[in-house]
């Protein structure tokens, strides 16, 4: 079902009345859905700030690794406010189609508002779908390529999400999975921890979102290493899976071919 949204008010972050010092454990899908709804108003600006704009480069790399071509029908899972979907639509052009799915209504509202502010014709063929990555509402073998940016780490049942992506991809097509790298290098993980503790969380606390961004650290610790991601993709049925470290090893991208 395509979502039709009115323009949301994105003027300023929605502030909660008081800052909380207790870190609420984020354990289940419902917690995560609420978390992504809460951070939606500031998510894009904070991404630019924390990565000094580099997330845009990594997302371009992820899209290019997906092997997307003009005229393709492609899927972006966990689309958030739409960065990867917009990049994909530039690749598929006006003869292609982008389906972008997320379970956060607020992220989707921002994505739809961004779409209506843009004049590029190709952006018109993005359809926003509210749905769950572990239960994709599409037929088997419907997509020529898929992406998922900073999404898989946040999904409780990652194997199911991988199975779902495998199911909806056409044979021979690829999924490109961009996320933080759960590095096996203690230097890399110390740098990630330091950046989260001393840059990300203090800035996020200015928006009363300290807990939400503190979750980043535990989510990386609970994520999979590049080797584990390759292994999971193989177990699910992808016949080639290759993990690339990018961003000085702080980020990683798995490319899996069905």
Interface residues toward ligand SAM, by CB under 6 A: 29, 32, 36, 78-80, 83-84, 102-104, 107, 132-134, 149-151, 154-155
1: its two tokens = 């079902």
| Comparison of 94 and 218: residue with beta carbon closer to ligand SAM | 218
DSSP calls for 66-119:
TT--TT-EEEEES-TTSHHHHHHHHHH-TTSEEEEEES-HHHHHHHHHHHHH--
Q: Round to whole Å and give the CA distance between 176 and 155.
A: 16
Q: Least Å distance between CB 91 and ligand SAM?
A: 16
94: its two tokens = 């006006």
| Residue pair 7/116 in contact by the 8 Å Cβ criterion | yes
| Comparison of 94 and 247: residue with beta carbon closer to ligand SAM | 247
Q: Least Å distance between CB 131 and ligand SAM?
A: 6
| Comparison of 80 and 252: residue with beta carbon closer to ligand SAM | 80
C-beta nearest to ligand SAM: residue = 80
| Residue pair 73/144 in contact by the 8 Å Cβ criterion | yes
Q: Least Å distance between CB 77 and ligand SAM?
A: 7
| Comparison of 94 and 131: residue with beta carbon closer to ligand SAM | 131
Q: Round to whole Å and give the CA distance between 104 and 80.
A: 7
Q: Least Å distance between CB 239 and ligand SAM?
A: 25
| Residue pair 138/74 in contact by the 8 Å Cβ criterion | no
Which residue(s) pair with 244 in the sheet? 253
| Comparison of 132 and 230: residue with beta carbon closer to ligand SAM | 132
Q: Least Å distance between CB 40 and ligand SAM?
A: 8
Q: Round to whole Å and give the CA distance between 62 and 67.
A: 9
Q: Round to whole Å and give the CA distance between 149 and 154.
A: 10
Q: Round to whole Å and give the CA distance between 228 and 196.
A: 23
| Comparison of 31 and 245: residue with beta carbon closer to ligand SAM | 31
Q: Least Å distance between CB 253 and ligand SAM?
A: 12
């Amino acid at each position: 079902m395509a979502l039709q949204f009115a323009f949301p008010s994105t003027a300023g972050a929605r502030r909660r009345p008081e800052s909380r010092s207790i870190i609420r454990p984020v354990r289940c899908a419902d917690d995560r859905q609420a978390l992504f709804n809460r951070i939606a108003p500031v998510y894009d600006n904070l991404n630019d700030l924390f990565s000094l704009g580099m997330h845009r480069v990594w997302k371009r790399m992820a899209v290019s690794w997906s092997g997307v071509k003009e005229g393709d029908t492609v899927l972006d899972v966990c689309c958030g406010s739409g960065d990867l979907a917009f990049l994909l639509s530039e690749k598929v052009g006006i003869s292609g189609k982008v389906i972008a799915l997320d379970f956060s209504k607020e992220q989707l509202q921002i994505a739809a508002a961004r779409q209506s502010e843009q004049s590029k014709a190709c952006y018109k063929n993005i359809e926003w779908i509210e749905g769950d990555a572990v239960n994709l509402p599409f037929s088997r073998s419907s997509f020529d390529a898929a992406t998922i940016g900073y999404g898989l780490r946040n999904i409780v049942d990652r194997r199911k999400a991988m199975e779902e992506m495998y199911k909806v991809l056409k044979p021979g097509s690829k999924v490109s999975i961009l996320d933080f790298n759960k590095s096996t290098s203690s230097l890399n993980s110390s740098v990630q921890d330091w950046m989260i503790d001393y840059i990300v969380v203090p800035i996020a606390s200015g928006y009363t979102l300290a807990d939400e961004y503190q979750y980043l650290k535990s989510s990386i610790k609970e994520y999979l290493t590049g080797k584990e991601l390759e292994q999971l993709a193989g177990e699910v049925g992808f016949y080639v899976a290759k993990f690339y470290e990018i961003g000085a090893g702080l980020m990683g991208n798995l490319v899996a071919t069905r």
